[in-house]
Structure 1
């Protein structure tokens, strides 16, 4: 299936994407849509089309699989993202990373700000940069403000891994990839990360690859 026409109205782009059932094609790094700030959502999609688009994002996120997906990752420059994390991880990882289950959420016009000065660094990957991971230092706690798909205001504080997901997906909407914030000496293939850096925290990787942690 072809990606949506970059110059078509957003509603037309989304209709083109949804013409075929199943997961949407995910845009890979190098596509300009991933590097442009998105257009704030202001009713460009009528409610029924918005609901269909959100459901397609959910299906695509699950199929990838991932714990978040932003509209630009399917070629649509709208300020919308979805997140969901069942967090099927060992207790040791849960405690080290603060990774707890998150229900399915739709973030419309999200923005975040750090709460406090604590930062945490962990390996992170991206569906638009397949095959690789790198260590990214991010705020350990953030305040998210946005609307949900029904237009209801959201003002919530996230900590641990959920805070990381919020930052990662909101960054996508500002034209940023996780690599822009990453410690590039940590860049590892998924195979190398699984073989060498599967520890709950990246201390061993920092020593072996020669980079600093916050």
Structure 2
């Protein structure tokens, strides 16, 4: 699904000002929720709107917010800053069966600027996802099982990395945020579940039971 989001109208000065306001507040900022226009904008590519020191400050702040939530990724627009920056990290302990079925392996922390991904091959996988900007909901999303990510590291170095399994899902979810796409845009709408219902009924390693009972996606 290509993004048809309109580019943000934030100037470099306004991005810098928004960052400074958040930093000067002295507390961890709240995560912006769905309905806020910043989540539906094409974020501005990073091209020096913040100094190197400020960029590292923002990355540290985003990592703290992500850990507090807790989550495995956070994009700058989720703090109200329409900048193509996201942080990712997955160090949660998960059940061995869940990890095996979902291809979930620990993802060491990294930050990415101006990311773009492309599928590797044609294999896809469908699992439930949630989002820190859509509290209280879960939905099944079909995504490429493996992707190639091109991005810029915080030190300005161009990078390319391949991801598979759950790591590929995190990479796609966070990159989408920077292009005005929420996971519900890609979700199987009949799968949408309140988080309590999801935990009670559908929190199996795979989506087979939910697929059957809620009537979404054909049997593989």
Task: Indicate yes or no: 2:64 matched with 1:59.
Answer: yes
Structure-1 residue corresponding to 2:114: 109
**CA deviation string 1:173-210 (max 9, x = no partner):** 00000000000100001110110001100010000000
With the length of structure 2 as denominator, give the TM-score of the two structures.
Answer: 0.92
Retained in 1: the 8 A contact 2:12–2:49?
no
Structure-2 residue corresponding to 1:186: 191
With the length of structure 1 as denominator, give the TM-score of the two structures.
Answer: 0.95
**CA deviation string 1:54-73 (max 9, x = no partner):** 10100000000000000100
| d(CA) in 1 for partners of 2:77, 2:48 | 17
Structure-2 residue corresponding to 1:47: 52
Structure 2 runs not aligned, ≥5 long: 1-9
Structure 2 counterpart of 1:198, from 191, 195, 203: 203
Structure 1 runs not aligned, ≥5 long: none
| d(CA) in 1 for partners of 2:175, 2:116 | 7
Retained in 2: the 8 A contact 1:106–1:148?
yes
After TM superposition, give the deviation of residue 156 of structure 1 in Å: 0.7
Retained in 2: the 8 A contact 1:87–1:100?
no
Task: Indicate yes or no: 2:148 matched with 1:143.
Answer: yes
Bigger mean CA deviation after superposition, 149-158 or 113-122? 149-158
Structure-1 residue corresponding to 2:7: none
**Cα distance change on mapping 1:212 and 1:148 into 2, 3 Å:** same
Q: CA RMSD in A?
A: 1.5
Retained in 2: the 8 A contact 1:87–1:99?
no
Retained in 2: the 8 A contact 1:38–1:77?
yes
Retained in 2: the 8 A contact 1:6–1:13?
no
Structure-1 residue corresponding to 2:74: 69
Structure 1 counterpart of 2:136, from 131, 154, 158: 131
Q: SS where residue 53 of structure 2 aligns?
A: helix
